Structure 1
């Protein structure tokens, strides 16, 4: 392993260069449904080129820390939101773009109930639930052409609990 990356709690501020944190914080924007529901409105900046938004369900196998990070991916044609359908944390790995390649990865662990929206073109790790079931709603681009680039690290990283 070339380096060890330690996880940090996922916060909107730390994640802001890479995307949006989807979570319920503070007071809702609106109270709806006969006063029985708080609406937290427009939490993600969805961005698609030549396509439309689609909702898919992913069911990923749980992983454990320490975790070996050998590959990241990005989607140049659209943002990608991951919304857990269970109340369990998951691992989020991102990296800034450095001349068409990922820079130093950063790792976060979500709080139960948090989701993420990766900006279009953001390098990120694969879906990595830390507990089963790994069921997620995913909102991303549906359209013609390839929307996936992968980058395999020459030397993998070890992601350890921070």
Structure 2
């Protein structure tokens, strides 16, 4: 049996600000956001990757949280119907606090930048598989990413359900 469900709400910059930034891909012209990709290690290299993410459906079971303690991480939708963004604060000891997790449903015209050190669930495309460009700073060592499995899965549901 899954614990109390987290209701996913629409993604808005104001409700996501503690975890990073929401960028609109619908803005006309060219808008620069390079300063948002924070790097806390001078020897890191900028990494651009492309990912095809399998589709998930709501309700969705969360099984782990991850963070990138030294770099912000940007997800830029290339071809996606929508996606799920789930974040939680640090518990004060350097671990995620899933009891305070929040989930957002992002649209195909919204990119996100997780702040360096922000705990988040891996990307979940909704409705169909999705393609993303991912930008972050890496060194290729264990400091690039921390993964923490949850003791028990958590369920995310649609807020309107």
Alignment of 1:12-161 (within 5 A): 12-24=13-25, 38-42=29-33, 45-48=36-39, 49=41, 50-99=43-92, 100-103=94-97, 104-146=100-142, 147-161=144-158
Shift of 1:11: 0.4
DSSP-derived class of the 1:14 partner:
helix
Q: Which residue of 2 aligns with 1:35?
A: none
Contact 2:26–2:109 (CA<8 Å) still a contact in 1? Answer: no
Deviations 1:32-86 (A, max 9, x none): xxxxxx1222276111223021211011111110000121111112111001111
TM-score normalized by the length of structure 1 = 0.87
Shift of 1:132: 2.7
d(CA) in 1 for partners of 2:5, 2:96: 16
CA RMSD of aligned residues (A): 1.6
DSSP-derived class of the 1:102 partner:
coil
Contact 2:80–2:125 (CA<8 Å) still a contact in 1? Answer: no
Return the index of the structure with the highest Cα Rg.
Answer: 1
Contact 1:44–1:117 (CA<8 Å) still a contact in 2? Answer: no
After TM superposition, the structure 1 stretch with the greater mean CA deviation from structure 2, 5-14 or 152-161, is 152-161
Q: Which runs of 4+ in 1 moved over 4 A?
A: none
- Structure 1, unpaired ranges of 5+: 29-37
- How many pairs were matched up? 152
TM-score normalized by the length of structure 2 = 0.87
- Structure 2, unpaired ranges of 5+: none
Shift of 1:88: 1.6
d(CA) in 2 for partners of 1:132, 1:61: 7
Shift of 1:154: 1.3
d(CA) in 2 for partners of 1:6, 1:43: 32
